[in-house]
């Protein structure tokens, strides 16, 4: 068996999970010992945004009162990962430092592993954890609103005198 075949076989055996729903037995077992586990995210697409871009995008989302669904900070990749509606990957614009995919494989800590508490598992923590059945917290972030906010944030960064001088904040 080639390395590519092994990789495809490993990915095919992954447990699936949609943030905010009941996790399967393997994921629950990992969470019970404060570990994360790679899972195939089902029923939503995932947007990955570089942390520095996220830091510029979040204020735009707040200005526009766009509620965020689950947001996972992934320190090893220096990014955040957000759940967006299924189908968003097909229309996601080519924005620097972002990527949107369907069928993403994400290493997910338990929802109670939250940045506000200083908790992290395998370099990951929830900025906005998945909240099952909470009408105040959406299941996903609006993909179009997110793309527009990223575009605005990148435009603001390009207009910053620090960026023109070659320095990034």
Q: Kindly state whether residue 169 falls inside one of the protein's structural domains.
A: no
> Is residue 38 very low, low, confident or very high in pLDDT (cuts 50, 70, 90)?
very high
pTM, full prediction: 0.84
pLDDT in tens, 41-55: 999 999 999 999 999
Helix (H) or strand (E) holding 89: helix 88-91
Quick one: pLDDT band at residue 159, thresholds 50, 70, 90? confident
Taking the CB of residue 151, how many other CB atoms lie within 10 A of it?
A: 15
Q: Which residues of 63-75 are buried (b: 16+ CB within 10 A; e: fewer)?
A: eeebebbbbbbbe
Asked whether residue 89 is domain-assigned, the answer is yes
- Quote the domain boundaries for residue 100: 3-164
pLDDT of 17-35, one tens digit each? 998 888 999 999 999 999 9
Nearest Cα neighbor of 88 from 144, 20, 149 is: 144
Q: What residues contact residue 53 under an 8 Å CB cut-off, 6+ apart?
A: 96, 97, 98, 150, 153, 154
Identify the three-state secondary structure at position 1.
coil
- Residue 31 counted as domain residue: yes
How many domains does the chain contain in total? 1
């Amino acid at each position: 068996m080639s390395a590519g075949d092994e990789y495809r076989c490993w990915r095919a055996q992954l447990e699936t999970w949609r943030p905010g729903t009941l996790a399967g037995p393997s994921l629950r077992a990992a969470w019970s010992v404060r570990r994360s586990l790679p899972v195939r995210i089902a029923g939503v697409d995932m947007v990955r945004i570089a942390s520095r871009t996220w830091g510029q995008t979040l204020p735009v989302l707040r200005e526009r009162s766009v509620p965020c669904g689950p947001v996972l900070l992934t320190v090893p990749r220096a990014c955040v990962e957000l759940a967006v509606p299924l189908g968003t990957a097909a229309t996601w614009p080519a924005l620097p430092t972002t990527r949107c995919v369907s069928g993403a494989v994400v290493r997910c800590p338990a929802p109670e592993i939250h940045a506000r508490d200083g908790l992290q598992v395998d370099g990951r923590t929830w900025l906005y954890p998945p909240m099952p059945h909470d009408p105040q917290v959406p299941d996903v972030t609006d993909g179009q609103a997110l793309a527009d906010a990223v575009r605005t944030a990148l435009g603001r960064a390009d207009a910053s005198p620090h960026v023109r001088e070659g320095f990034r904040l």
